[in-house]
Structure 1
């Protein structure tokens, strides 16, 4: 894996050290997450964040363990860091950090106070909501190490305030159970119980959200570090509270060994691919219903569109085909009216997607093609034929095949059904009503894949073949635009007419959606180098294509501000690294060199979400990363096209 390490210039800086985030996951959707210098900049940061029945439902438990060194003289040096409501940062323990590094995916901090050096490591138990934090004396001593346990118990998207009830504390032999929900265990426990008022999260302030909360100082662990090699460790866990986990050193050692095995199973060709393979592991989780995919940390759960776009990179590119098979079968069982649910993240099952199901057709086709698992193809074929039949007949949200040309059309008032699905105050920013280019590229691709699956299963593909031929011919005839690229949407309602009005127009805004018309395995078109270069000149950035060309009406170069401002910019120029996958595939088919397209992503791996790829970035230079620091389809698509080169 690529080395990820920072010295005192980054670690000791309250801005630079807080801009780089690490992530450790438990394989169930829970995690530990924070910054290089220890400042909690998000409400989502914590050492024990617990997933519920689904990965979307998480609660923050153990927020932090603030270290303090006590010398024989009684002098105390605090190594933690907090930002407060008035902007004060106190304590400033990061000023004593000499190094932060990721070693086999395990974060390690090293503080130096003269000749005294203390290291901290942290890991989670795979398959269990458990975190282990250990501190080792490297040199110097003797000293006492105190660890203040800072806690809460709340929804990960909210805050808890001191004007409500204090967390319930139940003593145990070596710590406490907090709110009946999670347990703390370690040496020398002394309960305290006190609110720390007005902790500030600067990233929430930047996102236009409430930035303050109050934290509960539950108590303090304490242990002696007398000679190099001595350790003081704490465990925290949230399931089966009576069943104590292994010792902290065993948890950390097991995590390191598992991370190495994950990388080895992916058989990476180089250090970057190895790093991406380990990053991919964070998103594949196992729930009560089987394997699933977390779309992004820290705030997303499972989204079917994201899962299916990421499928090949996460499962087929990392040696997880058996888990992938299980996932595809489970998703097929949930089809309703020929559609996959978009998400249940919102608290209810929603089907408001036109492309998620088409990506599912693509994922099944790729699974069978890559693995040779024709049995799965035959098993799922009836359900996939049902998808086609439902689209031919018409299903939710006006999604139907237009009998006039065999292309898919879609649209319903107040809905944004493509992947460009942002809404501001309930109004879609990019509704794209009509026949979007990537939706119809996926439709053509999906039909062709089903024809092949039907032939492999020894069944009659004639109905599928006819639908494919008609859609393919219409796509090739209708989508090329006089502008020199493809129309983004055909038959869209004219601006002066309401949805369903008689007048229509074809939208030729330069967006990256057209890349799928050249990049998919059964793409309807063959790219040519001049067209790809022209598109790249307008859209391509070091982190991937912009969602809209600069100079176009509505282009927004900064993905910043409150929710309305950010959602308004989401697909109006913001960069999406996942689109680098379709761009690279398109360039390869146009016989263009692609190795230089990965340089910006490689440099990005230690810049934001450490060892991972962000959800988005600013469309304008310097293309600062935004959105989720750890995003499934971003990692998966970069990993996929690096492996297939």
Structure 2
């Protein structure tokens, strides 16, 4: 693996909170955070949905605060920095390791005789995030209490608590949360489904005050924010079993975590395979004279089939990272339109940045059809011989 951190770094707060992860969904939405699960930016969250793809990015699910109950002891797996700078709890002390599996962040928690793994990824083309837990080892079942902290705001803004109380309704697979009338609902679903025995959901509607966002303070921005504790899930995990929390704007996304994970891995493997295949293939010579001459002058070693060397893993990682910046910008005339996000977390798609980065993100990675689609998308907005500078996040007319 290319990017990995062992316990020595994961348990060092200064180091671990400076390392950030990012997953994307190909339509402008994303999830992002730190290795410690400590919020340091207003842009950190488990579901920042693109409600007007690729823009209209809105924080819906901020974080999940998990506590593992095992052999009459509680082990927090999360941490928070509060208004006075206090870190409580210190769940990062339970992190044995962190690594990227493609673009999927993977945490391994270790305490007592337990190994618990956690993965986060998004469904391509959907405002859907998967948080997947698997109990790898232990001498008895593990009780997992998961507090869902939510919000409903533009990803550039911040929230101060008020008397805002969200609507909470149970569905056949989980919970539906609606911040206010006509707001896009947030569905928190589970696999296996809630059965009031091994998996229970308890509505809360309690504000948690004074999350201290250290990076925002460094940037000279408002550093304190409040989030709403909407619901707590309590699950019992057997060794070898898994639990998936699905956060989505869709009422019926795929909830089977194993199937969704397999699908995500296949998608990323397809991107890598396309790059590897394009990298080694050569266009067929169509001129019969040139083709005949090459056949006469080629050495025997050149004419033999040569097995391509495998692409180094760090190159594959760069190819996947490049793909995270490419998102859909669909229109009636261009249903397959593409564009490039100028930078995570806060940029939209900017004309200048798109044209500068296009060769590296698409040509070098052999995504020629994507490059063509991006050029066609921007050509649609040419005005006075000029490309638009940016597409505002509010969805207004391009500048």
Q: TM-score range by the shorter chain?
A: 0.7 to 0.9
Structure 1 residue runs of 5 or longer lacking an equivalent are 352-645
Mark the CA change 1:29 to 1:350 in structure 2 (over 3 Å): closer, same or farther. closer
Tell me how far 1:67 sits from its aligned partner: 1.3
Give the corresponding residue for 2:266. Answer: 257
Distance 1:306 1:261, change over 3 A: same
Aligned pair partner of 2:215 in 203, 219, 229: 203
- Kept in 2, the 8 Å contact 1:64–1:149? The answer is yes
Could you say which residue in structure 2 is the equivalent of 1:394?
A: none
How far has the Cα of 1:171 moved from its partner? 2.6
Q: Cα gap change, 1:311/1:128 in structure 2, threshold over 3 Å: closer, same or farther? A: same
Higher helix share: 1
Aligned partner of 1:52 in structure 2 is 51
Q: Secondary structure at the match of 2:382?
A: coil
Contact 1:133 1:233 in 2 (8 A): yes
| Correspondence for 1:318 among 350, 355, 365 | 365
- Cα distance in 1 for residues equivalent to 2:373 and 2:338: 7
Shift of 1:89: 0.8
| Paired position in structure 2 for 1:507 | none
Q: Is the 8 A contact 1:283 1:293 kept in 2?
A: yes
Q: Give the whole-Å Cα distance in 1 for the aligned partners of 2:45 and 2:342.
A: 19
Measured after TM superposition, the shift of residue 246 of structure 1 is 3.9
- Partners of 1:70 and 1:145 within 8 A in 2: yes
SS in 2 for 1:335: coil
Residue 286 of structure 1: aligned partner: 328
Equivalences for 1:76-115 in 2 at 5 Å?
Answer: 76-115=74-113
1:119 corresponds to which of 111, 117, 120 = 117
**Where does residue 316 of structure 2 map in the other structure?**
274
Q: Structure 1 96/47 Cα, relative in aligned 2: closer, same or farther at 3 Å? A: same
Q: Is the 8 A contact 2:54 2:328 kept in 1?
A: no
SS state at 1:82 partner: strand
- 1:327 matched to 2:325: no
Contact 1:72 1:142 in 2 (8 A): no
- Summarize the alignment of residues 422-441 of structure 1 with structure 2, pairs less than 5 Å apart: none
Deviation, 1:325, is 1.4
Structure 1: distance between partners of 2:313 and 2:243: 33
Aligned counterpart, 2:150: 151
Residues paired across the two proteins, number:
346
> Shift of residue 192 of structure 1?
1.3
Deviation larger for 122-131 or 178-187: 178-187
* Pairwise CA distance, 1:96: 1.0
Maintained 8 Å contact 2:98/2:105: yes
Structure 2 unaligned blocks of 5 or more: 179-183, 195-199, 280-310, 332-336
Q: What secondary structure sits across from 1:57 in the alignment?
A: strand
Equivalent in the alignment of 1:28? 27
Matches within 5 A, 1:439-478: none
Match of 1:296 among 343, 363, 379: 343
Per-residue deviation at 1:34? 0.7
Q: Counterparts of 2:388 and 2:173 in 1: how far apart (Å)?
A: 45
- Report the Cα distance in structure 2 between the residues aligned to 1:64 and 1:235, rounded to whole angstroms: 12
- CA-to-aligned-CA distance 1:8-54 (integer Å, 9 cap, x gap): 12111221101111111011010111111211111111111101324
Partners of 1:105 and 1:342 lie apart in 2 by: 29
- 1:219-618 aligned at under 5 Å gives the runs 219-227=231-239, 229-239=240-250, 241=251, 243-267=252-276, 269-289=311-331, 290-345=337-392, 347=394, 348-349=396-397, 351=399
- In structure 2, the residue matched to 1:620 is none
Deviations along 1:493-538, one digit per CA (max 9) or x if unpaired, are xxxxxxxxxxxxxxxxxxxxxxxxxxxxxxxxxxxxxxxxxxxxxx
Cα distance between partner residues in 1 of 2:346 and 2:33? 14
Give the Å deviation of 1:212. 0.9
Kindly tell me: are residues 112 and 346 of structure 1, through their superposed partners in 2, closer, same or farther at Cα, counting changes over 3 Å?
closer
Q: CA deviation at 1:164?
A: 4.9
CA RMSD of aligned residues (A): 1.7
How many angstroms does 1:248 deviate by?
1.5
- Greater strand proportion: 2
Residues 325/183 of structure 1: CA separation in 2 closer, same or farther (3 Å cut): same
Structure 1 143/333 Cα, relative in aligned 2: closer, same or farther at 3 Å? closer
**How far apart are 1:185 and its partner, in Å?**
0.9
Structure number, greater radius of gyration = 1
Alpha carbons 2:244, 2:255 under 8 Å: kept: no
Q: Any conservation in 1 of the 2:189–2:255 contact (CA below 8 Å)?
A: no
> Offset at 1:201?
0.8
TM-score, normalising length: structure 1: 0.52
Partners of 1:174 and 1:54 lie apart in 2 by 26
TM-score (structure 2 length as normaliser): 0.83
Instruction: Answer yes or no: is the 8 Å Cα contact 1:150–1:217 preserved in 2.
Output: yes
Match of 1:191 among 199, 203, 213: 203
